Amino acid sequence: PEDQFVPDPNKKTLVILGTGWGSVALLKKLDTENYNVVVISPRNYFLFTPLLPSCTTGQIEHRSIMEPVRQILRHKKAAVKYYEAEATQIDHARKVIKITDNSEIKGTITENEVPYDMLVIGVGAENATFGIPGVRDHSCFLKEIRDAQAIRTKIMDCVETAAFKDQATEEIDRLLHMVVVGGGPTGVEFAGELRDFFDDDIKKLIPDIADRFKVTLIEALPNVLPMFSKQLIDYTESTFKEEHIEIKTKTMVKKVTDKSVEAVITHPDGSKETVTIPYGLLVWATGNALRPIVKDLMSQIPAQKDSRRGLAVNEYMVVQGTRDIWAVGDCAVAGYAPTAQVASQEGAFLAGLFNNMAKTEALENKIRELSSNLNLKPGNTAEITQEIETVEKRLRRTRDVKPFHYSHQGSLAYIGSEKAVADVAWLNGNVASGGKLTYFFWRSAYLSMCFSTRNRVLVSLDWIKAKIYGRDVSRE
């Protein structure tokens, strides 16, 4: 491989924004010899999000699910340029991207522009707060590594403060009340991990406060995990009951303060009640919102006027109303749920598309070259014509690119006490299962999906370590 990135003026510059599921799946399969590839992301690693809830309790150490982007790029055929920066604006008329170094250490230059011929946007999404007062100031999110680290520290801070000498009973109850808002898979998995942590470790280490620990999951809709089948929703709800995780459905949080949440409960008879729920730790997991760069681009393009949830793309992932811009993952609206599974399939599709486009161009050049040979070498006409025909045939095959088709492998979620739920596609049908066996399936499926062997080894060792020695409860 070429170690140095030297842009080739004969190749197009392909800029990829983000190092998440969509962008990394694209990079994995892309033949980087065909383009001058530039990657821009404020995060210099790929994060395996499915195991992020386990990092909040120390069941898994955070570095086990991170893969440095430099390591990923090292194995590419041709060198790829990486800038650790945030793309702040896409000027699609001038075909340039404005980038800013927002990290702690700054050089003399912190802002710049990167030109592109082709652009892929894979910047993911932000946490939705719906403008509810107090959410940003007082709650933890669960999207990035630093979120999981902050939660891990806060859990132990709440526990140690609750165990403080002569702490008032009411205050102990507040501090040990962990409230999770949002009954999607993020909220459910986190609540399960939290309960495990208490039952497996805290109870043993600090028995005097253990029976006051409480987890409440608040969901605005009538049930949790809306993407799972009814049977698995019921299974999750009954498992949570056994685990003493209280689920408050039809309950909408309206306001958050530093020590309590205010929520409106809709009762079965339709009447509404406003309640105040004191908490020690609040985790906010109510889904996705648009990133500013995506919002800004949408405002520049008339064809995106009616799109609300992200960049509307066509079946080839081209951003509607633009040329040479593609979008993948949570920032793109292609008619699928914002999941890692969708993002990685979209990224892999684009890699195939771009590899194909390069092949097409090469074949077209070959035909042009052969055609000019026809005039230069009249003696070889028959031979050259036959060669042109062969190349044209290959060109037709290469050009025939099928649109993106998502293949759903199923939904999986961990629900605590070594139980998981799975809706999995199986022999043209669907299999719904929940319980311990599903938990082993969940573990092996996620282990096999980890980015690298190094990640797989680290995650396995973390599981073994936690089983033998318990989770590390030191507060960093």
Tell me which residues touch ligand FAD (CB under 6 A).
17-23, 40-43, 49-50, 52-53, 86-87, 122-124, 142-143, 186, 291, 293, 329-331, 338-341, 343
Question: What DSSP assignment string belongs to 287-304?
Answer: -EE--HHHHHHHHH-GGG
Query: Which residue, 115 or 287, has its beta carbon nearer to ligand NAD?
Result: 287
- Tell me, rounded to whole angstroms, the distance of Cα 475 from its chain centroid: 27
Q: Name the residue whose CB lies closest to ligand NAD.
A: 184
Comparing CB distances to ligand NAD, the nearer of 12 and 408 is 408
Binding partner selected for residue 293 from ligand FAD, ligand NAD, none, CB under the kind-specific 5 to 8 Å limit: ligand FAD
151 touches, from ligand NAD, ligand FAD, none (C-beta below 5 to 8 Å by class): none
Please say which residue, 5 or 406, places its beta carbon nearer to ligand FAD: 406
Cβ 122 to ligand FAD shortest distance, Å: 5
Least gap, CB of 262 to ligand FAD (angstroms): 25
Q: Residue 219 in contact with residue 183, Cβ under 8 Å? A: yes
Residues near ligand NAD (CB under 6 A): 50, 132, 181-187, 189, 218-221, 226-227, 252-253, 285-288, 337-339, 411-413
Pick between residue 68 and residue 338 the one whose CB is nearest to ligand NAD.
Answer: 338
**Contact partner, 40, from ligand NAD, ligand FAD, none, Cβ < 5-8 Å per class:** ligand FAD
φ, ψ at 81 (rounded to 5°):
-90, 135
Question: Shortest distance, CB of residue 370 to ligand FAD, whole angstroms?
Answer: 41
Q: How far is CA 262 from CA 276, 277, 279, in A?
A: 5, 6, 11
In the complex with ligand NAD, the residue whose CB is nearer, 412 or 459, is 412
CA distances from 138 to 60, 257, 266, 325 (A): 25, 7, 25, 37
The option from ligand FAD, ligand NAD, none interacting with 286 (CB < 5 to 8 A, set by class) reads ligand NAD
Residues 6+ positions from 159 with CB-CB distance below 8 Å: 175, 176, 202, 206, 209, 473
52 binds, among ligand FAD, ligand NAD, none (CB under 5 to 8 A by kind): ligand FAD
Residue 243's binding partner out of ligand NAD, ligand FAD, none, with CB under 5 to 8 Å set by partner kind: none
22 binds, among ligand FAD, ligand NAD, none (CB under 5 to 8 A by kind): ligand FAD
CA-closest candidate to residue 146, choices 158, 154, 138, 156: 154
Q: How far is the CB of 368 from ligand NAD (least distance, A)?
A: 46
Q: How far is the CB of 344 from ligand NAD (least distance, A)?
A: 13
d(CA 266, CA 251): 6
Distance CA 122, CA 70 (A): 18
- CA distances to 128, 141, 294, 320, 327 from 334, rounded to whole Å, are 20, 26, 15, 11, 9
Among ligand NAD, ligand FAD, none, partner that 64 touches (CB below 5 to 8 angstroms by kind): none
Minimal distance in Å, beta carbon 465 to ligand NAD?
A: 23
Q: 43 touches which of ligand FAD, ligand NAD, none (CB within 5 to 8 A by kind)?
A: ligand FAD
| 97 vs 148, beta carbon nearer ligand NAD | 148
Judged by beta carbon, residue 201 or residue 219, the one nearer ligand NAD is: 219
Q: Tokens 């404005």, residue?
A: 98
CB 202 within 8 A of CB 473: yes
CB of 287 to ligand NAD, least distance (A): 3
Residue 313 binding: pick among ligand NAD, ligand FAD, none (C-beta 5-8 Å cut-off by kind): none
- Quickly tell me which residue has 């949002």 as its tokens: 182
CB 285, min distance to ligand NAD, A? 5
Pick between residue 193 and residue 243 the one whose CB is nearest to ligand FAD: 193
CB of 184 to ligand NAD, least distance (A): 2
Give residue 452's region: left, alpha or beta (phi > 0; psi -120 to 50). Answer: beta
Q: Scan for tokens 């999986």, then name that residue.
A: 412
Q: Cα separation of 214 and 284, whole Å?
A: 17
φ and ψ at residue 225, rounded to 5 degrees: 45, 60
> Least distance (Å) from ligand NAD to the CB of residue 58?
19
- Cβ-based neighbour number of residue 203 at 10 Å: 14
Q: How far is the CB of 252 from ligand NAD (least distance, A)?
A: 5
Q: In what order do the strands lie in the sheet with 410-416?
A: 410-416, 419-426, 429-435
Kindly state the helix (H) or strand (E) to which residue 137 belongs, with its residue range: helix 135-138
Are the C-beta atoms of residues 69 and 39 closer than 8 Å to each other? yes
In the complex with ligand NAD, which residue's Cβ is closer, 35 or 48? 48
**Beta carbon nearer to ligand FAD, 201 or 330:** 330
